[in-house]
Amino acid sequence: MQQLINSLTDGFLLGFVYGLAAMGLSLIWGVMSVINLAHGPVITVGMLTTYLLFVHLGLNPYLGMVVVAGVGLALGLLIYAIAVHRVISAPHLSSLLATFAVNMIMLGVFNAVFGGDQNNINYSLGSLSIGFLNLTYSRLLAALGAMLFTAFLYLFLFFTRTGKAIRAVANNREAAELMGIPSYRMLALSFGLGSLLAAVAGSLISTIFPFTIFSGGPYELKSFVICVLGGLGNPLGALIGGLALGLMEGVIPIWMPTSWVPVVEFGLFVFVLVVKPSGLLGAK
C-alpha cells in the first residue's frame, strides 16, 4: 500500500511535466495542423539552457526558467519562419518532413557542440516526508511550475486579445483573416508558444533527472501518446493525458518489470487510436 501511494504521487507529479510538454505539441497541431517533429530537440534546448545557465552563470535553475521560456519562444519563431511558414498550406507530409529536418539539424549541432555525455544539474533540494510518503522538492516544484505555465497559457488564450485571435485562427483561418486578424503572425506566435512550453518542460525535467542531448526524444514520443490520449489539439486534454501517463508509469512497475512500461504505454496508444481516433477527450 505504501509503495502504491508513493508510486502514485511520484507519477502524478511527473505527469504535470509530461502534460506541459504535450501541451506544446497539441497547441501547434490545434492551431496549424502541423505535427512538430522538432519537439524533442526543443525540449533538449530547454534542458541545455538551464544546465548552461546553472553551470556557467550559477543561475538558480528555477529562475533560469524565465530565460528558457524566452529562448523557447525565440527558437519557435525561428523554426516557424525558416522551415514551417512556406509549407504550412502544403500537404501534411511536407511540414512533417520539414520539422523532421529541423530535428536532425538540431541534433547534429548538439552533437558537434556538446557531445553525448550525460549532464547533471547538481542542485538538490532534498525531500519532504509526510509519514511514509516521501516527495522530492524537485518533483513538487516541477509540478508547480507546470501548473503555473498551464495557467499562464489558459489565461493568455482566453483572456487576451492576441489569445482570442489565436483561437480564432485555429477555428477558421479564412474567417479570422476576413475579420482583420493577421493569421500568419498568429501562426508564428502559436509555434513560438508551443516551443516555449516544450523548452520549459525540458527545463523542469532537467531539474529532476540527468540528461543527454538525446533525452528530448523519449519525451517527444510520450507527448504523442499523451496527445492521442487527451485528444490532439486540446491543451486541457494534454494535461489530463500527461497525468494519466505519469500515473501509469508510476503504477505499472509495481506489478511488472519496468521494461514493460513502454509496451503498455504504446499498446494503449494503438488501442485508443483504433477505438477513438480523436482521442479520449477529443471532439467527435
| Interface with another protein, residue 160, by CB under 8 A | no
Query: Of these, 60, 89, 111, 124, which contacts another protein (CB under 8 A)?
Result: 124
Per-residue binder mask for another protein (CB under 8 A), 8-37, x = binder: --x---x-----------------------
Query: Considering the complex, what minimum distance in angstroms separates the CB of residue 50 from another protein?
Result: 15
Nearer to another protein, 212 or 278 (CB): 212
- Please tell me whether residue 60 binds another protein under the rule CB under 8 A: no
Of 7, 33, 94, 278, the one binding another protein by CB under 8 A: 7
Per-residue three-class SS string for the chain = CHHHHHHHHHHHHHHHHHHHHHHHHHHHHHHHCCCCCCHHHHHHHHHHHHHHHHHHHCCCHHHHHHHHHHHHHHHHHHHHHHHHHHHCCCCHHHHHHHHHHHHHHHHHHHHHHHCCCCECCCCCCCEEEECCEEEEHHHHHHHHHHHHHHHHHHHHHHHCHHHHHHHHHHHCHHHHHHCCCCHHHHHHHHHHHHHHHHHHHHHHHHHHCCECCCCHHHHHHHHHHHHHHHCCCCHHHHHHHHHHHHHHHHHHHHHCCHHHHHHHHHHHHHHHHHHCCCCCCCCC
Closest distance of CB 270 from another protein, Å: 22
Least spacing, CB of residue 137 vs another protein, in Å: 8
Using CB under 8 A as the binding rule, the residues of this chain from 220 to 279 that contact another protein are 249-250, 253-254, 257-259, 261
Check residue 120 for interaction with another protein (CB under 8 A). yes
Decide: is 209 part of the binding site for another protein (CB under 8 A): yes
- Is 136 among the residues that bind another protein (CB under 8 A)? yes
User: Residue 132, interface with another protein (CB under 8 A)?
Assistant: yes
Q: Where along the sequence are the contacts to another protein (CB under 8 A)?
A: 2-3, 6-7, 10, 14, 118, 120, 122, 124, 126-127, 129, 132, 134, 136, 138, 208-212, 215, 249-250, 253-254, 257-259, 261
